[in-house]
Amino acid sequence: MPAGYRYPHWLKKWHSLMDLAAEGVPGISPDIQIGRMKNCAGNRSSCESPYCPACSGKNYHKLQRRLMRVAKEIPQSQLRFATFVIEDCSGFELRGIAKATSAIARDMLRSVPSLNGWFMRQEAKPSSPGRYHPHIHVLMDVKAGYSSGRNCMSVLKWRGLWEAALPDDLHSVQQKPVVIKSVYDVAGIVKYLCKSPWSKAHGETFEEKLLSVIRISDQISDMARLRRYASSGTLSVTSDN
C-alpha cells in the first residue's frame, strides 16, 4: 500500500463479511482465495482474489478504460446496444450453458456482414436462490448497410438468428429475448458493460450486507474460470499493460 493511502473503512466491512461468508461457500478456501484479501485495497500489491471487491472493482475499471478508448472513436450514430437472453438455469448448469452460449453468440456476431466490430459481455443475474438469468450484452459498431439494403438487420432478424443458433432447450420464454437499442450515452453503456459483480452490493443492515456477500460469492464461484467478455473489429479491446 503506498504511503499515505488509507485502507477504506467500507472495504474493511465487505472483506470481513466475505471472510465470514466463506465458511458457508463450498470451494472457497481461505488459504488460497481470500487469505491475502483482508486488507487489500486493490492497488499495486493487490491480492487478485476473485472474491475481493477491491481487486474486482479495479480490474473491471481497467476493462472499462480499454473499451472506452475504442468506443469513443466511433460516431455515436453507428453504435447499438443489444441484449440476447437465454432461458434461466441453475447454478450447477450455469458454467456449461454460459460457455456454450457465448461461443454461439460469437459465431452469430461474426456471421453478420453489416458490423464493423463488437464487444460482448457474458452476464448472469441471480433470479431466485440457486438460479440465474443468463444473458449477453453486446455493444455493436454498425456499417452503413445495417439499416437498409441486402445486409440490413432488424430486431426480428436478430431474433431469428439467435433462435436458430441456440439449442431448443435454451430458448428464453421471455417476451423479448432480443432487445436492440440506439446508444445515447456511450460512457454510461461502457460503464454498464464493464461493471463488477460488486457494483450493486448494497444493504443497510448487517444481515442485508451479509446476504449480498453470500449471493455474490456464490455467483463468483458458479462463474469461476468463465470468459466474461469477447471483442472483435473496431471494438477490440487490447491489453494496457
Footprint of Zn ion (CB under 5 A): 40, 46-47, 52, 54-55
Shorter beta-carbon distance to Zn ion: residue 45 or 111: 45
CB of 215 to Zn ion, least distance (A): 19
Longest dimension (CA), the chain: 61
Sign of the dihedral defined by the CA atoms of residues 23, 28, 31, 34, in that order: negative
| Helical pair 53-71 and 186-193, crossing angle rounded to 10 deg | 140
- Minimum distance from CB of 186 to Zn ion (Å)? 29
Q: How far is the CB of 4 from Zn ion (least distance, A)?
A: 19
Nearer to Zn ion, 51 or 158 (CB): 51
For Zn ion, the closer of residues 62 and 171 by Cβ is 62
Q: Contact, 37 vs 81, CB < 8 A?
A: no
The 3-state DSSP class for residue 185 equals coil
Closest approach, Cβ 46 to Zn ion, in A, equals 4
For 186, other C-beta atoms within 10 Å of its C-beta total 17
Residue 169: CB minimum distance to Zn ion, A? 38
Q: Are 234 and 67 in contact (CB under 8 A)?
A: no
CA distance 41 to 54: 6
Q: How far is the CB of 40 from Zn ion (least distance, A)?
A: 3
CB 84 within 8 A of CB 201: no
Half-sphere exposure of 55 (CA within 13 A, CB side): 17
Comparison of 16 and 111: residue with beta carbon closer to Zn ion: 16
How many Å apart are CA 142 and CA 140, to the nearest integer? Answer: 6
Residue 96 has a CB neighbour count (10 Å cut-off) of: 11
CB nearer Zn ion, residue 36 or residue 191: 36
Of 114 and 199, the one with the shorter C-beta distance to Zn ion is 199
Do 123 and 136 touch, CB atoms closer than 8 A? yes
